[in-house]
């Protein structure tokens, strides 16, 4: 597995070493020791989640606050998504900045998003299966969100406005202004 730095502090891409032959392919998608060595910290993932979405769906921007904050390791099993991470850590040199990358079944990239970030994705393919590990359990009282199309963030979701499908809950998320001083 190869670590690739992103423009966001402590947020990394992981590229697996893939072994292809006429039968198909094999790669180690996760190894706890190797992962911790690469990211330079002890991250103990305790929950796996998977979602299925159709083209145009945007999920996010979501986060967990306080003691229930979650680091995530995300990847796409089928299809392609535009994945977005937004740094909400007020003391970070990249606070308020976001990073986006296409994750797909073809590129097999994974994105590590540390605690203190908001996260979301847009489905670019006909459908997509999205998989992620979390280092903390979900807690409904600690969930938060930021409006996906907040003008101050200027996130290009790479979808025509007419094709975007967002839950009512995500449409009602507050703007980034509410979190300018941090979580």
Can you tell me which residue has the tokens 């970070």? 92
* CA–CA separation, 155 and 58 (whole Å): 12
Whether 183 has a pLDDT exceeding 80, the answer reads no
- For 28-160, strand residue ranges (E) read 47-54, 58-64, 72-78, 80-87, 98-104, 110-113, 117-123, 127-134, 143-145
Q: Which residues are identified as catalytic?
A: 62, 132
pLDDT digits (tens, 9 = 90+) for 82-133: 999 999 999 999 999 999 999 999 999 999 999 999 999 999 999 999 999 9
pTM of the model: 0.93
* pLDDT at residue 147, as a whole number: 97
Q: How far is CA 74 from CA 39, 90, 111, 176, 181, in A?
A: 14, 23, 5, 23, 27
What domains are defined for the chain? Answer: 45-179 (2.60.120.10)
């Amino acid at each position: 597995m190869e670590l690739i730095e992103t423009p966001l502090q402590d947020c990394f891409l992981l590229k697996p070493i893939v072994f292809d032959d006429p039968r198909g392919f094999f790669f180690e998608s996760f190894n706890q020791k190797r992962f911790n060595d690469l990211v330079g910290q002890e991250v103990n993932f305790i929950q796996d989640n998977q979602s299925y979405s159709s083209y145009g769906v945007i999920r996010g921007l979501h986060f967990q606050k306080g003691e229930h904050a979650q680091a995530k390791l995300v990847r796409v099993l089928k299809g392609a998504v535009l994945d977005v991470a937004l740094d909400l850590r007020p003391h970070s040199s990249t606070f308020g900045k976001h990073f986006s990358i296409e994750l797909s079944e073809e590129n097999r990239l994974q994105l590590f998003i540390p605690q203190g970030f908001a996260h979301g994705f847009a489905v670019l393919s006909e459908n997509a299966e999205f998989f992620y590990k979390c280092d903390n359990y979900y807690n409904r009282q600690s969930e938060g969100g930021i409006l996906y199309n907040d003008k101050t963030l200027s996130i290009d979701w790479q979808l025509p406005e007419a094709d975007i499908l967002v839950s009512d809950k995500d449409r009602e998320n507050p703007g980034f202004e509410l979190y300018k001083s941090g979580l």
